[in-house]
Amino acid sequence: MEEFEEFLDDNPGKINEWEASKRVEKAQYEAVRVATNDFKPSPELIRLMDEEWVRQNPSGHRRYMFHLRYDLDMGLEGDQAYLPLMCFDLDHNSPQAELQKKIDKIKLNGRCEPSELTFEELLERSHLLTLLTRTDHALKTHGEVPKILSGNSSRSRRYKAVAAFETSILGVKCAMSGEVLPDHIFDGHHRTAKCDLQEGDAVYPTAKVCERGGLYYHCPREYIPWRNRLFNEVLKKTRLKKEWHKVLHWVLRNLDWFALQGITIDYPYKVDGTVLVRSS
């Protein structure tokens, strides 16, 4: 943290960049809040969102998930009922299911993930698949503690350093839901994606430069370039639970669709080429 403070002192423009990026976060949070009626939309709106999600890409796995939810009443229990289908994954639910996945990989020329199968193929495997929220699926897959934390390789040490630093800056809670989750279960949301940010005449370099994995898988060996990349990226990011990360991106891509449903979202940013411009 001392080095980070020194980095900000040596690069005073970074503080303005950080504050501008946080303003984007606030506007994005507000957009999702309005779109989902404070995160608990009506069943009618959820169904409309699910129908539009499938219409935009009527792939086999999306149609199959819709079938599970609305024909077989899955994913409608408790707080799950407030989540659109985009917040769920299809989970291989047993050792038998994992075996079938290996068989599919051989027999179907590499196609074994649910997203790669047709609707009919998924129906044939319906006893092997379950709807799970994306967070629950990630926890089941990676556990409470990821394997990378158990080693002492250079990659493991870099992962621990990245996780500790991001936690110190971004906290341990999802910025939208307020839930506390293990570090590796969060999604790191780059607020302006691959765009720089413009406010008036000021343009801030907030475009995503690397994924988090790039900081511990493919990072430079020299400490200072690696550290500066870490510092620069964390200024652009928000911690989100996987479900809300998915909803956020969908909301921002579908502002006009929400307007057709009578939900007007005042999001004061527009993408202009490779720049996200504050329009009001």
Q: Name the DSSP letter for residue 113.
A: S
One domain, residues 165 and 273:
yes
Structural domains counted in the chain? 2
Q: Are residues 151 and 138 in the same domain?
A: no
Please tell me the distance from the alpha carbon of residue 34 to that of residue 23, in angstroms, as a whole number: 17
pLDDT at 242: 96
Same domain, 151 and 28: yes
pLDDT band at 272 (very low <50, low <70, confident <90, very high): very high
Domain span including residue 153: 2-35+147-181+186-278
Are 188 and 237 in contact by the 8 Å Cβ rule? The answer is: yes
pLDDT of residue 220: 64
Whether residues 134 and 152 share a domain: the answer is no
Among the candidates 86, 120, 142, a domain finishes at 142
**Measured distance CA(150)–CA(162) in Å, rounded:** 15
pLDDT tens readout for residues 124-183: 999 999 999 999 999 998 888 777 777 788 888 888 889 999 999 999 999 999 999 989
Q: Note the pLDDT tens digit of each residue in 77-122.
A: 898 999 999 999 999 999 999 999 999 999 999 999 999 999 999 9
CA distance 8 to 167: 18
Tokens read off for 252: 């921002």
- 164 and 243 co-located in one domain: yes
Separation of alpha carbons 50 and 128, rounded Å: 23
For residues 222 and 85, state if they share a domain.
no
Give the three-class secondary structure for 173: strand
Q: Does 129 lie in the same domain as 216?
A: no
Burial level of 192, CB count in 10 A (0-12/13-18/19+)? buried
Strand partners, 173: 180
Are both 24 and 85 inside the same structural domain? Answer: no
Q: Indicate if 166 and 210 belong to the same structural domain.
A: yes
Predicted local confidence at residue 187, as pLDDT: 95
Whether the pLDDT of residue 68 is over 90: the answer is yes
For 225-254, give the secondary structure using H, E and C: HHHHHHHHHHCCEEEECHHHHHHHHHHHHC
Least confident interval from 75-79, 189-193, 260-264, 273-277: 75-79
- Dist CA 56 CA 58 (whole Å): 6
Q: Measured between alpha carbons, how far is 87 from 35 in angstroms, rounded to an integer?
A: 15
More confident residue, 134 or 38: 134
How many C-beta atoms surround the C-beta of residue 178 within 10 A? Answer: 8
- Whether residues 174 and 120 share a domain: the answer is no
Tell me what the mean pLDDT of segment 31-59 comes to. Answer: 94
Instruction: Tell me the average pLDDT across 243-266.
Output: 96
Query: 156 with 260, same domain?
Result: yes
Statement to judge: residues 158 and 219 lie in one domain: yes
